[in-house]
Amino acid sequence: MTKKQKKLLLRIAVSAALFAVAFFLPVKGIFRLFVFLVPYLTVGYSVLFKAGRNILHGQVFDENFLMALATVGALAIGEYPEAVFVMLFYQVGELFESIAVGKSRKSIGSLMDLRPDRATVERDGETVTLSPEEVRVGEILIVKPGEKIPLDGTVLEGSSSLDTVALTGESVPRDVTVGDTAISGCVNLSGLLRLRAEKPYGESTAAKILALVETSSANKAKAENFITVFAKFYTPAVVLAALLVALIPPLFDGAWSAGIYRALSFLVISCPCALVISVPLSFFAGIGGASKKGILVKGSSYLERLASASVVLFDKTGTLTEGSFLVSEVRPVRRTKEELLELAALAESYSNHPISLSLKTACGKELDASRVSEAEELSGRGVKAKIDGKTVYAGNRRLMEECGVVCGEEDGVGTAVFLCAEEDGDLRYEGYILISDRIKSSAAEALAALKALGVAKTVMLTGDKKAVAEKVGSELPLDCLHAELLPADKVAIAEKELAGKAPKKSLLFVGDGVNDAPVLALADVGVAMGALGSDAAIEAADVVIMDDDLKKLPLAIRCAKRTVRIMKENVLFSLLVKLAVLILSALGFCTMWEAVFADVGVMVIAVINAMRAMRVKEKN
């Protein structure tokens, strides 16, 4: 517990002890009032202070005003034990609420562990320790085992395993070596690393995630906004109703003391604490539970929309597929497969394009860079290089046509890299290599889970060739797919799906958050997949899944549905109990003792129920 919570607990304990003593003391009259005033003020002075302060600031009708009015009124009509007990039990409920909110906030606040405390930098020939905000782009960082990586950087020396659990929720470490990117907020587990800072701290991954978490409460759900407005009109209406309860029956029976007592009980019961507290707490707990699984939700409004998802649009590359290209076919004309692969790898050896990297990986041997000269990247077509003094072209069909080389149709699905090489002064066709992307192992299971959760339609959108899209579609349980799309085409399809979906249902778009920003912005909920290290994904999306696990999408929806269900349970339970006890109170069948149980008891039950949203289940 916090210092403030411990202080409140102490006040409750002291007040309860004083209340027990006062209850059994054989005193009467004005002395009995003073005896009960001591425990009353001990536990309730903060409520009276808040009520008075809010009245002075024009905020009259809130739960503090209702509690103050009801208990002071009880003291005025001589119901001293009831006044103390109402205030005592109310403060017990406030303590429960504070502990619950603190626990929920802690689950989100655990992400604050991402914040690095210091950075060790090589500057002017010396090693100095600075605040991460003071580090300049391009400076060399030293990160020892056990330390957090302070800024996003490129590994210059060393290799290590990084603990990414605070970012992704996954316990499996991520290995990095020379040339790899190390993300701020990760913990260096083993080897010493020298990094070159690539971004200032304000633009680092850790800083962006922290900013996201800190502002997540700004986007309120419709249910939260409704409860806020409801409480604003509900409270004065209740005060008016209590006034009528106090005045009208005594006009007929003359029992003014009984009428005032009924009105005070009515005020205690009507306090909307359970509604005002449990609804936002349910969403807050849901966001906290999701964050522990590496799913960042930018506000309760997006959690609410996730729960009503009916149409999900997927980007292909990097979302449904791995986004890492592999050689699937090698079709030589005049060489062996190994020779064609080596020729392609040498031609592409100076390129960092994913296709080039896949060719170098497939070659599987150490490449002699001295054999390559005059390497040139031909934008949108391929590469040109001199290998062993002879010109080689590697690229798409368009490049072959420019070279005057005739190549037949490729046999297979994927991206074809055609090659031609100089021989006897002419360019001759050497064959082609087929590059393909792999479907994620979790994709089929994730799509099936979405259907089980009530998603009516799943659609794949891709700019890739139709044959490639159809191959992916044949292996996954998609409802439909669209291929060879430009960004504008994706937007048009998303608009059509938005217009056709059922009322009060949501459309989700799942992509990488970089190339598909227009659709991410258009969708009811934009979900960025595999956003570790992607600034644009974190900024553009409404929900950020911090690793590449597609199964976390149905997990996010399951979390959202459970949160909304818990919120509705709290609202229904609170309203039904309060309505029943309010009627009994107005008719004189309910004392202030029952009233306080109805008010604070309902609040405590609702708060405990709301905290269940923190427990995110992997499966139903």
Angle of helix 80-109 versus helix 273-291 axis, rounded to 10: 20
Q: H or E segment at 401?
A: helix 397-402
- Please give the structure tokens belonging to residue 114: 């991402």
Side-chain half-sphere of 271: how many Cα atoms within 13 Å? 32
Smallest CA-to-CA distance from 298 within 546, 557, 562, 542 is with 542
Task: Say if residues 11 and 42 touch (Cβ distance below 8 Å).
Answer: yes
Q: Percentages helix, strand, coil for the chain, rounded to the nearest 5?
A: 55, 20, 25
Gap between the terminal Cα atoms of the chain: 32
Strand spans (E) along 412-470: 415-423, 426-439, 457-461
**Cα–Cα distance for residue pair 320/473, rounded to 1 Å:** 10
Adjacent-strand bridge partners of 481: 460
Query: Which residue matches tokens 């502002």?
Result: 215
Task: Report d(CA 549, CA 532) in Å as an integer.
Answer: 12
**Of 315, 437, 524, 548, which residue is the catalytic one?**
315
Q: Are the CB atoms for 194 and 141 separated by under 8 Å?
A: yes
How far apart are alpha carbons 10 and 41 in whole angstroms? 14
The rounded distance, in Å, linking the Cα atoms of 495 and 500 is 9
315 classed as catalytic: yes
Q: Burial letters for 23-43: b for 16+ Cβ neighbours within 10 Å, e otherwise?
A: eeeeeeeeebbebbbebbebb
Structure tokens at 192: 């010493």
Q: Are 458 and 478 in contact (CB under 8 A)?
A: yes
Cβ atoms of 199 and 137 within 8 Å: the answer is: yes
385 near 370, Cβ under 8 Å?
no
CA distance 206 to 221: 26
Give CA–CA dist 581/46, Å, rounded.
27
| CB-based contact 67:264 (threshold 8 Å) | no
- Cα pseudo-dihedral 245, 247, 253, 257, rounded to 10: 80
Please, are residues 385 and 347 in contact by the beta-carbon 8 Å criterion? Answer: yes
CA distance 135 to 151: 8
Which amino acid is present at 462?
T
How far is Cα 237 from Cα 112, in angstroms, rounded to an integer?
Answer: 42
Residues assigned a catalytic role: 315
